[in-house]
């Protein structure tokens, strides 16, 4: 783990952009009426494309979607899940009182998802940040989730999707002829 200072962001504009966009995702797009805690996450692939997520709560607390899940899902839908190199996570309390001083790290479920993406892309840096950005920690996912359990543990080497397995694409005309 490496502790970053605000000046480190000034020297690395792509990292600064990643972290600021994660904070913006939390501020503008988090849906957190139950906890009053907003979290934003932005994943970046090796080509520099970004994928945003914000936490999405609901009255059935166990069905909450974490910001990291949103960012990883957005990357997956765009075909970049296996090309990720970094994810920034920023969070802060906004109700009943504002507190932007605490570092937010991915929960266990999110660490597992990030780890599985890193198995495909070979390495993902995780930037855990406080809402005021006065505290930023850089971790490799291997540091955050040592001795992780994943596909290799299970001996799984199968393709991760129908397309990667070589399955023929669906024919749009076939569906249209059925109706």
Structural domain of 21: 2-151
**CATH number of the domain residue 93 falls in:** 3.40.140.10
Q: What is the pLDDT of residue 136?
A: 97
Q: What is the pLDDT of residue 147?
A: 93
- Residue bearing tokens 């406080």: 130
- Chunked mean pLDDT (size 10), the chain, 179 residues: 91 96 98 97 98 97 94 97 97 97 97 96 97 97 94 81 86 66
- Residue bearing tokens 């309390």: 93
Query: In this structure, are strands 125-130 and 84-93 parallel, antiparallel, or unpaired?
Result: parallel
CB within 8 Å of 49: residues ≥ 6 apart? 78, 80
| CA dist., res. 70 & res. 55, Å (int) | 8
Domain-embedded: residue 171: no
83 phi, psi to nearest 5 deg: -120, 10
**CA 141 to each of CA 69, 145, 169: distance values in angstroms, whole numbers, following the listed order:** 15, 6, 34
Domain-embedded: residue 73: yes
| CA dist., res. 23 & res. 92, Å (int) | 9
Write down the catalytic residue from 16, 57, 68, 116.
Answer: 68
Q: What is the pTM of this model?
A: 0.91
Domain-embedded: residue 161: no
Overall domain count for the chain: 1
Q: What is the pLDDT of residue 33?
A: 97
- For residue 31, the cross-strand partners are 56
Domain-embedded: residue 166: no
Domain-embedded: residue 31: yes
Domain-embedded: residue 20: yes
Domain-embedded: residue 179: no
- Residue bearing tokens 């937010």: 104
DSSP tag of 31 = B
| CA dist., res. 50 & res. 89, Å (int) | 13
Q: What is the pLDDT of residue 173?
A: 72
Q: What is the pLDDT of residue 47?
A: 97
| CA dist., res. 55 & res. 37, Å (int) | 9
Q: What is the pLDDT of residue 175?
A: 62
Q: What is the pLDDT of residue 42?
A: 98
Domain-embedded: residue 160: no
| CA dist., res. 97 & res. 137, Å (int) | 24
- Residue bearing tokens 């920690």: 137
68 included as an active-site residue? yes
């Amino acid at each position: 783990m490496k502790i970053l200072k605000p000046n480190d962001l000034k020297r690395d504009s792509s990292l600064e952009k990643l972290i600021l966009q994660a904070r913006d995702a939390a501020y503008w797009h988090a849906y957190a009426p139950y906890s009053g805690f907003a979290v934003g996450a932005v994943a970046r692939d090796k080509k520099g494309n970004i994928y945003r997520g914000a936490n999405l709560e609901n009255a059935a607390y166990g069905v909450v979607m974490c910001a990291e899940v949103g960012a990883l899902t957005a990357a997956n839908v765009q075909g970049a899940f296996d090309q990720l190199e970094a994810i920034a996570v920023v969070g802060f309390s906004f109700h009943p009182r504002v507190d932007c001083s605490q570092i937010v790290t991915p929960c266990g479920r999110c660490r597992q998802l990030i780890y599985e993406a890193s198995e495909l892309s070979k390495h993902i840096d995780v930037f855990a940040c406080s809402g005021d950005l006065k505290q930023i920690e850089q971790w490799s996912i291997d540091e955050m989730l040592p001795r992780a359990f994943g596909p290799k543990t299970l001996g799984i080497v199968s393709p991760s999707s129908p397309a990667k397995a070589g399955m023929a694409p669906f024919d749009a005309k076939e569906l249209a002829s059925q109706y």
